[in-house]
Amino acid sequence: MREPWRSERVPDRSAYAPDHGGAVVASDWRARLPLLTGALVTLRALQAEDAASLFSMLTTEEVSRFISPPPTTLEGFRRFIAWTQEEQTAGRHVCFAVVPRDLTMAIGLFQVRALEPTFETAEWGFALGSPYWGSGMFVDAARLVIDFAIGTLGVHRLEARAAVQNGRGNGALHKLGAVREGVLRRSLLRGGRYLDQLLWTIFHDEWTDGGAAPEPSPTPRNES
């Protein structure tokens, strides 16, 4: 997945107006993210105290191998968390911490960022600590995030990108009913080489109608 870990990695969106022209359901999400509760996880706003657990969970080789490089220090994660709060206040970006129902620490995150002056087209990304892979927590959290993006942010088209080699990430998006639109050639630089990415989309009406019909799994499942 592609995560904007540092503000300098994200295009300048200072011209984006906080008023989204009525496309967004009335909400105070810019000031305070709501608490989203699923069967297995709770999603909440990131806190400065999450830096330590996120640093531990998301900087391992198996987690970071197919995403944009995360911060390499604890202080880097603190700066990232502060940046997400600034972007949320500006109405350009939201970031949820993933917290298992029986824990208080963050074990992953989900992000949604506007790709145009409104949230009608947006991109989402996610990362989850490997001890929680295969637990069902990803799907539980992802459904909450998609519901929030479509129902509260007013997203019409929700995009995701995943390296072709990322069998687990592509399989997860497929399981959610996302539709593969194409290949973005040499679009992710990792380990000194450019990787192709698959572009996946979920549309408002497809999600509210119960999800798009799944297609055959596009990639092998032997990569994490």
Is residue 11, in this structure, part of any structural domain at all? Answer: no
Q: How confident is the model at residue 143 (pLDDT cuts 50, 70, 90)?
A: very high
What average pLDDT does the segment 105-117 reach?
96
What CATH number is given to the structural domain containing 174?
Answer: 3.40.630.30
Question: What local confidence, expressed as pLDDT, does residue 15 receive?
Answer: 32
Is residue 215, in this structure, part of any structural domain at all? Answer: no
Q: Which of 62, 58, 165, 65 is nearest to 110 (CA)?
A: 58
97: containing domain: 33-208
Sequence-separated (6 or more) residues with CB below 8 Å from residue 66: 1, 162, 163, 165, 166, 169, 188, 190, 195, 223
Q: Cβ(92)–Cβ(114) under 8 Å?
A: yes
Q: Does residue 155 have a pLDDT over 90? A: yes
Q: Cβ(116)–Cβ(154) under 8 Å?
A: no
Is residue 216, in this structure, part of any structural domain at all? Answer: no
Of the listed ranges 20-34, 41-55, 69-83, 119-133, the least confidently predicted one is 20-34
Number of independent structural domains in the chain? 1
Pairing verdict, β 157-163 and 121-128? parallel
Render 114-132 in DSSP notation, one character per residue.
ESSSSTTEEEEEEEE-GGG
Render 147-161 in DSSP notation, one character per residue.
HHHHHTS--SEEEEE
Q: How confident is the model at residue 211 (pLDDT cuts 50, 70, 90)?
A: low
Q: Cβ(215)–Cβ(194) under 8 Å?
A: no
Is residue 218, in this structure, part of any structural domain at all? Answer: no
Query: CA 36 to CA 138: how far, in whole Å?
Result: 14
Is residue 2, in this structure, part of any structural domain at all? Answer: no
Is residue 119, in this structure, part of any structural domain at all? Answer: yes
Measured between alpha carbons, how far apart are the two ends of the chain, in Å? 12
Instruction: Kindly report the average pLDDT of the chain as a whole number.
Output: 85
* Cα dihedral: 6, 10, 15, 18 (round 10): -60
Is residue 5, in this structure, part of any structural domain at all? Answer: no
Pairing verdict, β 121-128 and 108-114? antiparallel
Question: What local confidence, expressed as pLDDT, does residue 216 receive?
Answer: 45
Amino acid type, 96? F
The model's pLDDT over 112-126, given as tens digits with 9 standing for 90+, comes to 999 998 899 999 999
Is residue 194, in this structure, part of any structural domain at all? Answer: yes
Q: Does residue 132 have a pLDDT over 90? A: yes
Phi, then psi, of 190 in degrees rounded to 5: -140, 130
> Which of 217 and 202 is assigned the larger pLDDT?
202
